[in-house]
Every structure is written in C-alpha cells, then in structure tokens.
C-alpha cells in the first residue's frame, strides 16, 4: 500500500497531469488543424464581442434563458462546477502538499468550508443523477458511459470526504482517492469532459453565427 501511495503521489501526479494537460492541448491543436480547411465559417465571422457574450452568459449562474427556465437544474449544474473547481484547488491538504513540493501554493479554504462544499457538490451530483434517471428526455439520451462519467467525477469527492473524516481504512481510502482523481484527470481529454476546453470554442462559434451575423442573443 505504501508503494502504491508513493507511486501515486510521486510519478503518478506527473503522469496524470501530463496526460490531462497534454491531452487537452493535443485535442485542441488537432481540432484547430481540422478547422483550417473545414470550418471557415468559424473564422469568417469571428468577433470576440459576440463570442465573449455567448460564453460569459453561460458562466453566470442562471445567466441564460435556458437555465432560468430550469432553475433547479441550473443551480445544481452551477454549484456542481463551482465546487468541482474550488474544492480541489483550494483544499488545505492539497495546498500543503504543493507547498512542500514547490514552496508555492494557492490560498486555502478552511477545512470546515471545504467539507461543506464537498457535501454540497455531492448533493448537486445526486440531483444531476436523479434528473437523468427521472426525466424521460434526459434518460433517453443517457448511455451507461454517461452514468459512469458522472459517478466517476464524484468518486474523488466521496473518497476524499471519507479520508478526511477517517471513515474506513484510512490508507486504502486515501490511495483510492488519489487513484480516482488521477484517473479522472486522465479521462477528461478523451471524453465528453473535454468540454472543459471545447465549451469555449463551441459557445464562441454559436455567438459568431447567431450574434455577429444576425445580432441574435444566444443565451
């Protein structure tokens, strides 16, 4: 178990971040290459005013008509993503490790806050999951892989929560936590989770297409 731990907190971190960031870059560069010939329509009407507004409104909580019409989902989706970023980035334990390794770290949230945000995140995740199961128009779209990705995104939070509260065999839970988190990072570039980057391009495009060309709002 210790060897496993050593590997995951040493080379494992490097490998997973390398694949995560490198993968996203490779995918984006590949799409950029494809787009040169086949997506002239993206470049011909590019205007960052409209592209920016199209992106910006979807980053705001309930910033779009669509999310305002479905406020429960809108809130769950927003909270889900905020916690998804905030908890791992500003967790005291993560930043302590960072500081030990590099001497620099991000500011940290008090543990009690991170703890609450973790629970909030999991509740939001459950709402998203429940919605997938309950609403026919979402269920019909959802594949086993979609369920897997949603659950898998929650796993680092579940295991992190257990480890923090020392529920279960601490060492194993901690190893599971790190393993899940690193696996998740490596999955992002190759799955629909690549939307973390591609969102900005696809939203910008519809902003150009409907906004620059027609003056229509896309939010």
Pick the closest to residue 118 from 147, 144, 148, 90 (CA basis).
90
Structure tokens at 90: 């500003």
Calculate ∠ Cα 87-93-95, nearest 5°: 80
For other proteins, the binding residue among 127, 146, 172, 183 (CB under 8 A) is: 146
Calculate ∠ Cα 46-49-50, nearest 5°: 70
Taking only Cα atoms into account, the Rg of the chain, rounded to an integer number of angstroms, comes to: 20
81 binds, among ligand HEM, other proteins, none (CB under 5 to 8 A by kind): ligand HEM
210 binds, among other proteins, ligand HEM, none (CB under 5 to 8 A by kind): other proteins
Cα–Cα distance, 4 to 176 (Å, whole number): 10
59 binds, among ligand HEM, other proteins, none (CB under 5 to 8 A by kind): ligand HEM
Q: How many residues does the chain have?
A: 219
Give whichever of 99 and 195 is closer to other proteins, judged by the CB atom.
195
9 binds, among ligand HEM, other proteins, none (CB under 5 to 8 A by kind): none
User: What's the closest the beta carbon of residue 141 comes to ligand HEM, in angstroms?
Assistant: 10
For ligand HEM, the binding residue among 193, 198, 206, 210 (CB under 6 A) is: 193
Does residue 19 interact with ligand HEM by CB under 6 A? no
For ligand HEM, the binding residue among 59, 93, 133, 141 (CB under 6 A) is: 59
Does residue 75 interact with ligand HEM by CB under 6 A? no
Place of tokens 């909270």: 79
96 near 114, Cβ under 8 Å?
no
Structure tokens at 217: 């709002």
Window 123-152: residues binding ligand HEM (CB under 6 A)? 128, 132, 146, 149-150
Contacts for 166-175 with beta carbons within 8 Å, 24 or more apart? 171/1, 171/2, 171/5, 172/1, 174/5, 175/1, 175/4, 175/5, 175/8
Residues that bind other proteins (CB under 8 A): 31-32, 34-35, 38-42, 44-45, 54, 58, 64-67, 69-70, 73, 77, 135-143, 146, 192, 194-195, 198-199, 201-203, 205-207, 209-210, 213-219
Residues that bind ligand HEM (CB under 6 A): 58-59, 77, 81, 84, 128, 132, 146, 149-150, 153, 188, 193, 195-196, 199
């Amino acid at each position: 178990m210790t060897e496993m731990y050593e590997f995951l907190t040493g080379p494992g971190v490097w490998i997973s971040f390398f694949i995560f960031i490198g993968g996203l870059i490779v995918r984006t560069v590949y799409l950029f290459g494809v787009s040169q010939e086949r997506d002239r329509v993206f470049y011909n009407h590019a205007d960052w005013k409209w592209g920016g507004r199209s992106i910006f409104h979807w980053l705001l909580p309930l910033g779009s008509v669509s999310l305002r019409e479905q406020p429960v989902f809108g809130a769950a989706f927003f909270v889900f993503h905020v916690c998804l970023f905030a908890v791992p980035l500003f967790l005291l334990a993560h930043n302590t490790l960072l500081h030990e390794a590099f001497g620099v770290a991000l500011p940290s949230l008090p543990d009690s806050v991170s703890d609450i945000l973790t629970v909030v995140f999991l509740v939001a995740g459950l709402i998203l999951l429940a919605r997938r199961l309950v609403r026919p128009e979402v269920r019909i779209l959802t594949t086993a892989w979609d369920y897997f990705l949603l659950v898998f995104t929650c796993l680092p939070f579940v295991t992190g929560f257990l480890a923090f509260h020392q529920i279960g065999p601490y060492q194993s839970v901690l190893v599971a936590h790190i393993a899940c988190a690193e696996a998740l990072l490596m999955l992002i570039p190759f799955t629909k989770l690549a939307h973390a980057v591609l969102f900005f391009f696809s939203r910008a495009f519809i902003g150009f297409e409907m906004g620059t060309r027609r003056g229509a709002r896309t939010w």
